[in-house]
Amino acid sequence: MLVPSDNYSDFSSRLATVRARVAAACRSTGRDPASVEILPVTKNHPPVAAEAVARAGLRAVGENRVQEGVAKRAAADPAVHGIERLAWELIGHLQTNKAILAAAHFDRVQSVDSEKLLRHLNRAAGELGKQLPVLLQINAGNDPAKFGAALAIAPQLLEAALACNHLRVDGLMAIAPLGATPVETAAHAARTFGNLRELRDTLTARYGTSLRELSMGMSGDLEAAVAAGSTLVRIGTALFGVRG
């Protein structure tokens, strides 16, 4: 459901707060804040949310559902400064029957979690005459409720992805499982993000491919993600408020 709200005018102050959190997390782990990108997640929010992101000069937004993202992109006001160069990234689960739509309308798909989906996206990108950037989504927290390829099959998935001529593998993505308590949630986050970072380092060494992007961290756990090496934090609630 879209939130019927027009209070996206406070986006820049919320963005400043999130940037300060990222900067503090970078400072305490000796990282350069410029090495961590903030990806605003506009799911469940109207096109004006994406327009606010474009005005702020950010590179991209994240969307969870294919149709919602496609409709929102089409509905965004073309007169808004920067809207035409705003990139749209799919971060939610993608069914193979929507691979063509996703390949046509998104600039990157972060949620690639099976060889079957790779085949569909590769074929779709080929038909569209484009090279589609992707991230491989890994269930790095071994969460039974989460999508993502099991850690153990990640090498196989990467091999299959590297063989796809019409896909470009930019890196890995993960979502940390929630715990029953804040302490447990924090422990899951640290473990999940540490696993993804370790996997990236292992795969990079083994396949000689850079896997530059580590998409991990959301509103509640961005500090743990930055500490573990995140290059892209996907932020919804902290930038746009609670979704309807």
Chain residues that interact with ligand PLP, rule: CB under 6 A: 41, 43, 64, 91-92, 175, 218-220, 234-238
CB of 169 to ligand PLP, least distance (A): 18
What angle in degrees, to the nearest 10, is found between the helix axes of 47-55 and 11-29? 60
CB of 31 to ligand PLP, least distance (A): 20
| Number of Cβ atoms within 10 Å of the Cβ of 6 | 8
CB of 142 to ligand PLP, least distance (A): 17
Q: State how far the Cα of 60 lies from the Cα of 141, in Å rounded to an integer.
A: 26
CB of 92 to ligand PLP, least distance (A): 5
Find out whether 56 and 13 touch, Cβ atoms under 8 Å: no
Find out whether 86 and 53 touch, Cβ atoms under 8 Å: yes
Q: State how far the Cα of 71 lies from the Cα of 42, in Å rounded to an integer.
A: 12
Provide the CA 63 distance to its chain's centre, in angstroms. Answer: 9
Residue nearer to ligand PLP on the CB measure, 136 or 238: 238
CB of 91 to ligand PLP, least distance (A): 4
Residue nearer to ligand PLP on the CB measure, 92 or 229: 92
- Using DSSP's 3-state secondary structure scheme, residue 141 falls into coil
CB of 215 to ligand PLP, least distance (A): 8
Q: Could you tell me what percentage of the chain is helix, strand and coil, using 3-state DSSP and rounding each to the nearest 5?
A: 50, 15, 35
Question: Which parts of 53-127 are beta strand (E)?
Answer: 60-63, 87-90, 108-112
Residue nearer to ligand PLP on the CB measure, 93 or 123: 93
Residue nearer to ligand PLP on the CB measure, 122 or 230: 230
Residue nearer to ligand PLP on the CB measure, 10 or 77: 10
Q: By beta-carbon distance, which residue lies closest to ligand PLP?
A: 236
Residue nearer to ligand PLP on the CB measure, 130 or 138: 138
Beta bridge mates, 233: 38
